[in-house]
């Protein structure tokens, strides 16, 4: 009569033989807070952690059981493994500083301002009205401009970060957005940039506070999307290309906006959203900006002497 293989479970440890390989599960993993290794940065974290406190990477369920069973060899088991872990830690890019991220934000804002200026000028001249030296902005023109700016802001960050990991400003200062979770690059970048509506509260004060308190300097968008911003030195050709595109966008905006404003692109006003909300214009001696019943005048200095002085 042939022998059958029987699985034996004991209080101290369990011996499991489904495929002929013995897997020893330590008894202390049940009663003590065991340490395990992060599969991304290979630093030691708690066995109950869902995300690494150092890099923010997602830790799969049962990771510590695989290490206890010997399926995954821990980096602290041998001296050679310790050396490899140290080498990987040195090779991993450091987390980007908040000051560097702010510089990239300013550079990206300048580019977006040029894009917004072209789009808003076309919308205001098409859905607004011009009376003499005054431009009347209707409710429809303001709603369209706000919607267009929001879409352009989202597309700028989403497409560039999903494709190249960096916007123009990030490439110029040398930082990149990397994934720390299981989501695809498109999904992670979409969530990260959609959360700007929350992080941008108070001129990005909320996002800066969360990033300053986070171990990986991650704002809410990074925490929800599973991303982090790290330092990475781009090659000289990539930086040169980013700089050329950055200058080209600003120069194109300066060249195009006056031509859009000088043209007659106005369309017939609809019966809806045609109420004038903002009025911008100028008189002989001042420029004014009117919102509802509030009016702000700015005096203009002219070098031409008045007839009384001649």
Query: Which residues share a beta bridge with 296?
Result: 289
**Which pLDDT value is given to residue 59?**
75
**Which pLDDT value is given to residue 245?**
97
Mutual angle of helices 139-164 and 185-194, in 10-degree steps: 140
**Which pLDDT value is given to residue 75?**
44
pLDDT in tens, 247-303: 999 999 999 999 988 876 666 565 667 787 787 877 777 787 788 778 777 876 655
* Residue whose pair of structure tokens reads 């290794």 in the numeric block: 37
Residue numbers in the chain where pLDDT is lower than 70: 1-35, 40, 42, 47, 53-54, 56, 62-92, 264-272, 300-310
**Which pLDDT value is given to residue 30?**
41
* Residue whose pair of structure tokens reads 């917004």 in the numeric block: 116
Query: Which residues share a beta bridge with 25?
Result: 14
Q: What span, in angstroms and rounded, lies between the C-alpha atoms of 231 and 42? A: 19
Q: What span, in angstroms and rounded, lies between the C-alpha atoms of 163 and 160? A: 5
- Find the DSSP H helices in the chain: 28-31, 63-69, 79-91, 98-127, 139-164, 168-173, 185-194, 196-199, 201-213, 220-225, 236-262
Nearest to residue 278, comparing CAs of 286, 289, 266, 267? 289
**What ranges do the domains of the chain cover?**
8-91, 98-291
**Which pLDDT value is given to residue 34?**
65
Are the CB atoms for 235 and 102 separated by under 8 Å? Answer: no
* Residue whose pair of structure tokens reads 């399926």 in the numeric block: 71
Q: What span, in angstroms and rounded, lies between the C-alpha atoms of 101 and 207? A: 12
**Which pLDDT value is given to residue 278?**
83
Exposed/middle/buried for residue 264 (C-beta within 10 Å: 0-12, 13-18, 19+): exposed
């Amino acid at each position: 009569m042939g022998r059958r293989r029987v699985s034996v479970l004991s209080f101290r440890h369990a011996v499991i033989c489904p495929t002929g390989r013995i897997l020893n599960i330590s008894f202390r993993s049940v009663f003590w807070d065991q340490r395990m290794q992060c599969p991304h940065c290979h630093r030691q974290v708690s066995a109950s952690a869902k995300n690494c406190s150092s890099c923010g990477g997602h830790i799969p369920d049962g990771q510590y059981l695989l290490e206890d069973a010997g399926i995954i060899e821990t980096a602290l088991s041998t001296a050679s493994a310790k050396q490899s872990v140290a080498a990987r830690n040195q090779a991993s890019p450091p987390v980007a500083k908040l000051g560097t991220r702010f510089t990239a934000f300013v550079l990206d804002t300048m580019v977006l301002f040029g894009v917004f200026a072209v789009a808003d000028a076309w919308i205001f001249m098409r859905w607004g009205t011009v009376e003499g030296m005054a431009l009347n902005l209707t409710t429809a023109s303001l709603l369209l401009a706000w919607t267009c700016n929001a879409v352009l802001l989202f597309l700028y960050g989403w497409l560039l970060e999903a494709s190249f990991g960096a916007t123009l400003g990030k490439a110029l200062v040398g930082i990149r957005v990397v994934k720390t979770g299981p989501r695809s690059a498109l999904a992670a970048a979409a969530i990260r940039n959609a959360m700007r509506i929350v992080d941008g509260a108070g001129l990005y004060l909320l996002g800066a506070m969360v990033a300053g308190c986070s171990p990986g300097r991650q704002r809410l968008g990074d925490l929800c999307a599973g991303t982090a911003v790290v330092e990475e030195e781009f090659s000289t050709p990539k930086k040169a290309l980013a700089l050329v595109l950055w200058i080209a966008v600003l120069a194109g905006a300066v060249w195009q906006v006056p031509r859009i404003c000088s043209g007659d692109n106005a369309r017939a006003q609809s019966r809806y959203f045609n109420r004038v909300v903002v009025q911008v214009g100028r008189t002989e001696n001042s420029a004014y900006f009117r919102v509802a019943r509030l009016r702000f005048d700015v005096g203009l200095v002219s070098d031409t002497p008045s007839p009384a002085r001649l």
